[in-house]
Amino acid sequence: MLKGKTAVVTGASRGIGRAIALKLAEQGANVVVNYVHSETEGQKLVEEMIGLGVRALAVKADVSIFDEAAQLIACAKEEFGSVDILVNNAGITRDGLIMRMSEEDFNRVVQVNLNGVFNCSRHAVPLMVKQRSGRVINITSVAGMVGNAGQVNYAAAKAGIVGLTKSLAKEVGSRGITVNAIAPGFIETDMTAVLTDKVKDTLKESIALKHFGKPENIADTVIFLASDTGEYITGQVICVDGGMVF
């Protein structure tokens, strides 16, 4: 379905990003796997993808740093000739109530989760404009839509992604580029593994389907948006949350 397309997935060494990268490769895309710490996991994933018959490359870059994001996109262009699909997935949490949250913890979460989306889009979009096609898919969160106590930094960054997504969709729609966001609910990854069983049980009660999602649920939605099936969808936030926000 995506044969010959080039995809860049930020934060693809683990969790949701890993599942997204793998599904894109299964659909025939060549994939740039971005990571910042997990080099071994990134390389392993690349080998798995090459086994699927596509081209793949692991690139270390901290997306919160403008020049590193530039290098990440430049690597994709150099190696595979274009960037057709950009999935801005990299994200971190540094939770805490505002009374105790440090300025550093607020700023770092915004820098990675929101500036990271700007930094990568800033360098990929000009390539997409030139080729008059492209898909930008940003991973936000239900926390950015309804808020979450203990996450003013994270929710602010994720709400920022929603505004960025809608604005960019309006800017580049006439160039054949779609820009959408996916808002996961609670998905089983390292990010949610830190929650206690008691907290998990309480959270499940707030989900219509009464269970957490899997990274593949988000990856399937990315494939839907990145392929021809998503060609007339732009500026949207799609909740993949088992029924939390509606």
Reading across the β-sheet that carries 30-35, which strands appear in turn? 56-60, 30-35, 6-9, 85-88, 134-139, 177-184, 237-240
Q: How far apart are CA 111 and CA 219, in angstroms?
A: 24
Q: How far is the CB of 116 from ligand NAP (least distance, A)?
A: 6
- SS3 at position 28: coil
Nearer to ligand NAP, 43 or 131 (CB): 43
Q: Of residues 35, 106, 154, 186, which has the active-site annotation?
A: 154
Cα(2)–Cα(23) distance, rounded to whole angstroms? 10
Dmax over CA atoms of the chain, in Å, equals 52
Active site (annotated) includes residue 154: yes
User: Which residues lie near ligand NAP (CB under 6 A)?
Assistant: 10-17, 34-38, 62-64, 89-92, 112, 139, 141, 184, 186-187, 189-192
From first CA to last CA, the distance across the chain in angstroms is 31
CB of residue 136 to ligand NAP, shortest distance in Å = 14
- Residue number, 44 or 175, with CB nearest to ligand NAP: 44
Q: How far is the CB of 134 from ligand NAP (least distance, A)?
A: 20
CB of 188 to ligand NAP, least distance (A): 7
Q: What is the residue-wise DSSP string for 123-191?
A: HHHHHHHHHT-EEEEEE--THHHH--TT-HHHHHHHHHHHHHHHHHHHHHGGGTEEEEEEEE-SBSSHH
Nearer to ligand NAP, 230 or 242 (CB): 242
* Nearest to ligand NAP of 107, 133 (CB atom): 107
Q: Which is nearer to ligand NAP, 36 or 168 (CB)?
A: 36
| Closest approach of ligand NAP to the CB of residue 111, in Å | 8
φ and ψ at residue 108, rounded to 5 degrees: -65, -40
Catalytic residues: 154
